[in-house]
């Protein structure tokens, strides 16, 4: 597994448990099984292994976590994004929700 480059520039070994804990917090009181959370972490690990990189920024890993959460549960996604992206106020939160709603509208099949 690659070393993780933190925002501070520090490097540390990849820790699967840190990713799992972050996902568990985001999914708290949501209808997401422990197996599904493990599957998300497996997918993130697979992504990191397949990258072949010796180092990976925590930003790239955080974005991958958000992609996985977005596929599974929009509420969990917004919860994680609010912490990960350090929303400063309700405007940041609303911008993320609007983006999420826009993405949902674009993916809906058109009915005529």
Quick: pLDDT tens for 13-72: 999 999 999 999 999 999 999 999 999 999 999 999 999 999 999 989 998 998 999 899
Please tell me the distance from the alpha carbon of residue 67 to that of residue 77, in angstroms, as a whole number.
8
Backbone angles phi, psi at 10, to 5 degrees: -65, 155
Q: What is the pTM of this model?
A: 0.77
**Do 69 and 77 form a contact (C-beta atoms < 8 A)?**
yes
What is the strand order of the sheet 3-5 is part of? 11-13, 3-5, 55-57
For 88-112, the pLDDT digits (tens) are 676 776 776 777 667 665 665 555 5
Please tell me the distance from the alpha carbon of residue 33 to that of residue 10, in angstroms, as a whole number.
33
SS3 assignment, position 106: helix
């Amino acid at each position: 597994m690659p070393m993780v480059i933190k925002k501070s520039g520090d490097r540390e070994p990849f820790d699967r448990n840190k990713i799992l804990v972050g996902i568990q917090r985001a999914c708290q009181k949501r209808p997401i099984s422990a197996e599904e959370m493990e599957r998300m972490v497996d997918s993130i690990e697979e992504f990191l292994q397949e990258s072949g990189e010796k180092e990976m920024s925590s930003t790239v890993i955080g974005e991958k976590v958000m992609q996985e959460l977005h596929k599974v549960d929009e509420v969990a996604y917004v919860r994680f994004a609010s912490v990960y992206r350090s929303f400063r106020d309700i405007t940041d939160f609303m911008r993320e929700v609007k983006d999420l709603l826009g993405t949902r509208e674009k993916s809906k099949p058109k009915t005529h």
